[in-house]
Amino acid sequence: MISERQYIKDNLYDFFEELLLAQGITDKDIPIIYSNQNGLRPKAPFLMIDFRSTVMPGTPDFSKVSVGDEKDVQRITQHVRRNMTMYGFGERAIDTLETIKTMLNVDLWVDKLRERYLTIPQTFETIESPQSMDTVRENGASFDFDLTYIRVIETDPGYIDDVELVPDFDIR
């Protein structure tokens, strides 16, 4: 079973790679990495995606138990909103961030993301954030975005097969 976080990582990576390729930018031009992966950091320009907070607004929706071929199944669905950040390091990556933000509003890319059962309903302002790395100053920028989807969990709720009531009791 694939984990939810891995599903998001794989699908966002593929989505952003396809979006950039449509703009003539390959993974060799501007690689995309995830933060906190303990790998080698590429030289700028590159993009980095970071998982931030997770909010589950509302309450889960529990379906009625349906009888499957082998077992009974109950489906629990929950809307989830994850706050994510995309960073761009290097001048070209900073420009690419703005391109990505614009394309996230284009119907073609909205639909391609929905095909993966994900949506990005909101992006926030781009913030320039140059940093000192070793002895060199590196240009960077970032923007936050909300990623929404529906978490689906199926469970075998179990039930009582047989109950016996014993009417004998003693009151003393």
Contact predicate 81/151, CB 8 Å = no
Q: Mind listing the pLDDT tens digit for each residue in 24-65?
A: 999 999 999 999 877 788 899 999 999 999 999 888 898 877
Write the DSSP assignment of 131-168 as a string of letters: EEETTEEE-EEEEEEEEEEEEEEEE-------------
Is 30 in contact with 96 (CB distance < 8 Å)? yes
Calculate the alpha carbon distances from 73 to 33, 65, 96 in Å. Answer: 38, 6, 45
What pairs with residue 61 in β-bridges? 77
Whole-prediction pTM value? Answer: 0.80
Distances (CA, A) of 41 to 32, 35, 46, 53, 133: 10, 10, 9, 24, 12
Residue 75 to residue 66: CA distance in whole angstroms: 9
Q: Rounded distance, CA 100 to CA 109, Å?
A: 10
The dihedral over CA atoms of 82, 11, 92, 137, expressed in degrees to the nearest 10, equals: 50
Indicate whether 138 pLDDT > 70.
yes
β-pairing verdict for 61-62 and 72-89: antiparallel
Give the pLDDT score at 133. Answer: 57
Sole residue written with tokens 């994900």: 118
The maximal CA–CA distance of the chain, rounded, in angstroms, is: 87
pLDDT tens track for 88-134 = 999 999 999 999 999 999 999 999 999 999 999 999 999 988 665 56
